[in-house]
Structure 1
Amino acid sequence: MEEKITYARAKEILQNQKISPKGLERVFLYESLGRVLAKDIFASEDMPEVALSNMDGYAISSTMIELSKGIFTILGENPAGNEKKVELPLTQPYAIKTLTGAAIPHNADILVPFENVNVDGECLRVNEFPKIGEFIRKVGDNYKKGEKLLSQGVRLNANHIGLLASLNQIFIEVFEKPKVGILVSGNEILEIGESKNNPHCFYNANGHLLYAKVKENGGMPKLYPILKDEKFSIQSCLKDALEECDLVISTGGASVGDYDFIQAISKEWSEKIVFRGVRIKPGQHIIYANFLQKPFFGLPGFPNSTLVTFELFVKAILTKLCGMPFKEEIVEVTLQEDLQKGDKRLEFRVCNIRHTRGKIFIDFEGKKSFQSAILNNFCPLDNARVGLAILEGNKLKGERIPVILLNS
């Protein structure tokens, strides 16, 4: 077990954990939305399979331009979906009216848009000839047979659904969602809907925050009933959760107070603890362990700390269980103001992220305090995206600092 380690060391440990998705399942196309693809997808054929018209026009052969002197005879119409194979005779200057999405007639290599012609009955006068192949989609322009189109580990969005449908994929192989148990402990915690008769009590923000975070990041959350500060009941529920779930997260009880039983239980199972304590603010009292061969995180009880430690640490393991690579979005920004910090620990300070004239700026507007209990700092009134500014010391206006972008 390692204690009070650096942020970099904690990230290194989590990155090196050998964790894989539990299994695969086949789901209907629509149900694959938001799921993680379990195998690479390759094109089974060229797309398009034949050359197609990119716009409404007239198909002609470049070999007839000089002979035609700009005058062609229209032979007929070629609509999209035409099942007949259309061939352009090369005996004299002919043209075939070819609509958007239709196959280009055999022997034709130029499509003249409607805007570039005058038509009088069957007589076509071309005012301007396009280049050979212009306005024509060539065979395999979209993709070639055998080309990789989607990689294992991608989380499928609506665009992917459209692509899969174009490939006639009805059922998709995805990774099973990991079950994530969420334990909340504390005598002062009330479940939402309960009456609050004691001003020293608080509603279960952490449990529902973690439930939403797990779901947002591809897991299947299970929120257990609130646990009172009783060592036996916490230990019993923890064992149940470890047996039922692929990952367990607890919030509260990870500090060093008399009623912090997660900390006490973890000491009894200390040989299974990977690290305890990271020198960061907020969230220094975090525990990561492998209990019953299952990954376990003991997160601090303050909501701000819970959220930050989930983003920094839990996501690294959860994404592995989902079958995705873990990637943090980090950008460097120029400070618009001086920043002071009174703590030697590496600080992750919540900030608003603004995009102005192609540049990224941050500010701390509406951030009432940087104490660990304040969750509304992550919910700006103007719906700005939020991030975590990484502060190693006092910073001056004009200096550049790294910022972790959080989910929009």
Structure 2
Amino acid sequence: MTNGQCVRVSTGAVVPDCADAVVQVEDTEIVKHDNKEELIIKIKKAPSRIGQDIRKPGDDMRKGDLLFDVGCILSAGEIGVINEIGLKAVAVYRRPKVCVMSTGNELVESMTEEIPPGCIRDSNRPQLLALFKSLGFKPIDAGIAPDRRSDLVVAIKNAFGYASVLVTSGGVSMGEHDLLKDILENDLGFKIHFGRVWMKPGMPATFATGVIGAELRCVFALPGNPVSSWACAHLFAAPLLRHLAGHLKIYNSRIYVKLADGVKLGERPEYKRAWLQMPDRMTGEMQDEFWKTRQETGQVQKEEQFELLPIAHITGGQLSSRLASTIGANVLLELPQKSDGLAQLERGKIVQAFVIAPI
């Protein structure tokens, strides 16, 4: 190939040594063709520089480049790079296993058609199993354990035969059948790190650790109310499992949002379920500038920038028994407890939100 000549190459193909630029085919016009190949072409848009649209060896990555840092998640992009460079194996953390158990004499399996008087279907276990699976962990169904000391001890020990982390629901409040804290401490010799949390929902949430079979075991004993167990699983259990999985970032992101409606404050700090409406004018550049300003100055310089924040809509009634309030929720609004000078937050108030699902 000499001056005045060209050759057709496909995307990704090798460029002849004597060629120093590529012209996209849409910027050319065929002048003469012999029904087999082009003989003469017209270049409608000449290359603007030497090396245009040519990828040289090392443009994508060079010897010695750090491709993956410890703690990165192997998702689509990482898997693509691994295959691109022909890497046969990588060292990974094993996905942590977590056993999920419900407790309570009143519980029956969720698929039960005839519910005996005084009983309810178990919704906690299926929802927690689904939650942990969606987060990339390996949940194991540990069934329903009745509120009897001997049965609970056996059920807990059996669960630890499958996983080092156990998440239970029910049995941690103040009733006569709430035996879990006492069993963990006195029957199993576990240390309770916390057993009541000043929050709503989920005040009875308990975390304990102990040794069984020469291995450290962790128990999150969550409240029996379905929303309480769901919220506490997001706030407490999921970060621990991410830590065991080697994640560098174990906590979900927190963002600022604007309340769609006014809300009364309670006696405890509260996590209200909400879904976000994104403003039409929230472009990427505007978002970047907004957060840069807040980071640098600690405040928004222009009042109109408040309009760029996502709008948070609370998902109806927030009773801890109302599991339907979790449907469609992608954030937990972090609301303060009421005080003498603050009993409610007005519509448009900016609060912090804990992200729990894609926005």
Cα distance in 2 for residues equivalent to 1:195 and 1:113: 66
Question: Which residue in 2 is equivalent to 1:277?
Answer: 196
- Mapped pair 1:119 → 2:31: yes
Question: Which residue in 2 is equivalent to 1:379?
Answer: 327
- Mapped pair 1:337 → 2:261: yes
| Alpha carbons of structure 1 residues 216 and 141: separation in structure 2 relative to 1, 3 Å | same
- Mapped pair 1:307 → 2:307: no
Letter in 1 for 2:118: H
Match runs of 1:158-177 below 5 Å: 158-177=76-95
Q: What count of residue pairs does the alignment treat as equivalent? A: 312
Question: Which residue in 1 is equivalent to 2:312?
Answer: 362
Cα distance in 1 for residues equivalent to 2:335 and 2:178: 29
Letter in 1 for 2:350: R
Question: Which residue in 2 is equivalent to 1:391?
Answer: 335
Match runs of 1:234-313 below 5 Å: 234-268=152-186, 272-292=191-211, 293-313=216-236
Secondary structure at 1:110 match in 2 = coil
Residue ranges of structure 2 left out of the alignment (5+ in a row): 34-38, 283-307, 339-343
Letter in 2 for 1:109: D
Secondary structure at 1:139 match in 2 = coil
- Mapped pair 1:96 → 2:46: no
Higher RCO (CA 8 Å, separation ≥ 6 residues):
1
Cα distance in 2 for residues equivalent to 1:188 and 1:127: 79
Letter in 2 for 1:347: E
| Alpha carbons of structure 1 residues 271 and 306: separation in structure 2 relative to 1, 3 Å | closer
Contact kept in structure 1, 2:190 and 2:209, CA below 8 Å: no
| Alpha carbons of structure 1 residues 112 and 158: separation in structure 2 relative to 1, 3 Å | closer
Letter in 1 for 2:219: F
| Alpha carbons of structure 1 residues 155 and 99: separation in structure 2 relative to 1, 3 Å | closer
Cα distance in 1 for residues equivalent to 2:143 and 2:45: 75
Cα distance in 1 for residues equivalent to 2:189 and 2:270: 27
RMSD (CA atoms): 2.2
Secondary structure at 2:91 match in 1 = strand
Cα distance in 2 for residues equivalent to 1:186 and 1:195: 19
Cα distance in 2 for residues equivalent to 1:167 and 1:237: 47
Q: Percent identity?
A: 25
Question: Which residue in 2 is equivalent to 1:130?
Answer: 47
Letter in 2 for 1:129: A
Cα distance in 1 for residues equivalent to 2:94 and 2:24: 50
Cα distance in 2 for residues equivalent to 1:240 and 1:95: 73
Q: Which piece of structure 1 moves more, 388-397 or 242-251?
A: 242-251
Higher strand share: 1
Contact kept in structure 1, 2:276 and 2:313, CA below 8 Å: yes
Cα distance in 2 for residues equivalent to 1:271 and 1:322: 23
- CA displacement, residues 281-309 of structure 1 (integer Å, 9 cap, x when unaligned): 00010111112121111100011000000
Cα distance in 2 for residues equivalent to 1:330 and 1:280: 17
Residue ranges of structure 1 left out of the alignment (5+ in a row): 1-87
Question: Which residue in 2 is equivalent to 1:18?
Answer: none
Match runs of 1:14-29 below 5 Å: none
Secondary structure at 2:114 match in 1 = coil
Instruction: Tell me the CA shift for residue 174 of structure 1.
Output: 2.5
Contact kept in structure 1, 2:107 and 2:144, CA below 8 Å: yes
Question: Which residue in 1 is equivalent to 2:107?
Answer: 189
Letter in 1 for 2:229: T
Q: Which piece of structure 1 moves more, 386-395 or 268-277?
A: 268-277
Question: Which residue in 2 is equivalent to 1:74?
Answer: none
Secondary structure at 2:99 match in 1 = strand
| Alpha carbons of structure 1 residues 100 and 239: separation in structure 2 relative to 1, 3 Å | closer
- CA displacement, residues 28-54 of structure 1 (integer Å, 9 cap, x when unaligned): xxxxxxxxxxxxxxxxxxxxxxxxxxx
Question: Which residue in 2 is equivalent to 1:55?
Answer: none
Instruction: Tell me the CA shift for residue 371 of structure 1.
Output: 1.2
